[in-house]
Amino acid sequence: MRMRKKKHGSDRLASLSALICRDPAELRTDPCAPFGASVPLRLEIGCGKGDFICTLSRLEPEYGYYAMEKIDDVLVLAMEKYASGRGLGRLGDHGGWDASDGVNYGGGAVWDIPQELRGNVRFLSGDAATLGELFPPHVFDTIYANFSDPWPKTGYEDRRLTAPGFLKLYADLLVPGGRFLFKTDNENLYRYSLETVAASPLTLTYATEDLHASERAAVNVMTEYERNFSAKGAKIYALEAVAEA
Ligand SMILES: C[S@@+](CC[C@H](N)C(=O)[O-])C[C@H]1O[C@@H](n2cnc3c(N)ncnc32)[C@H](O)[C@@H]1O
């Protein structure tokens, strides 16, 4: 995702940084700790501007959600969408975060958001390749990767989020029987992913070349890319693969 540098981006990220998990020691010891309760966990890789995670976390609130994004200027948009959607305030007219406690947090000030207001999404700033260092094995009920970059050029295949190395990582991170759900508008990436899943420790349990015309359309949660692509008439490909029970 190309992004113009956000004005005051690092200050904006700082004001809501209580929602970001940066402590691998804590996550590895107790991945539920940031939620203050023992909850089943889900992970979205490449959350972009956050439409999907904001909607899903409202529809299925019994889970704790981690939303990972490698570009901080994009991550901040997802965090602001989540925070405003939860009634935690809004971006101030002159910068900073106008928080629901009545204070404007700007200039790098951090709002220590009370735990009971933080809700069920936490954010991770970084690359999916580091997930194995952040989390212990067998923690996630579901891992989502939506409209990830196709990396079409030869030599960059390993960066695709359905490359063999990533699928092995997901198999390690999922609980037994846990699901990996993948959506894309890119037919080549979809076909590549069917092949890599078939050769991976995961088992393919569902695949469709037209998600919006499938029996899963009714329960599908749209992402911002998905909305844009399908408005232009693109078909949405999807697959589900499951970790060994
Ligand atoms: C094409 S956008 C799609 C965003 C959103 N998922 C959607 O469907 O609207 C892909 C996003 O994934 C992020 N991303 C790509 N590779 C990643 C990785 N290895 N780790 C974390 N984020 C990644 C990109 O920075 C970008 O924001």
pLDDT tens for residues 136-164? 999 999 999 999 999 999 999 999 999 99
Instruction: Give the whole-number percent of the chain exceeding pLDDT 90.
Output: 93
User: Which atom of ligand 1 is nearest to 148's Cα?
Assistant: 10
C-alpha pair distances (Å), 169 with each of 118, 139, 165, 173, 174: 28, 12, 6, 6, 9
* Residue position matching structure tokens 């050029």: 153
Nearest one of 85, 77, 89 to 9, comparing CA atoms: 77
Nearest one of 225, 236, 231 to 44, comparing CA atoms: 225
Long-range (24+ apart) CB contacts under 8 A made by 100-104 are none
Looking at residue 3, its pLDDT comes to 56
Three-state DSSP class for residue 35: helix
User: Which atom of ligand 1 is nearest to 159's Cα?
Assistant: 19
* Residue position matching structure tokens 């939303």: 67
Asked whether the predicted pLDDT for residue 2 surpasses 60, the reply is: no
- Residues within a 6 A CB radius of ligand 1: 1, 45-48, 68-71, 74, 127-128, 146-149, 223-226
Average pLDDT value over all residues in the chain? 96
Query: From ligand 1's centre to the CA of 47, what distance in Å?
Result: 6
| Residues known to be catalytic | 149
What is the residue with the minimal CA distance to atom 15 of ligand 1? 46
What is the residue with the minimal CA distance to atom 23 of ligand 1? 46
What is the residue with the minimal CA distance to atom 14 of ligand 1? 46
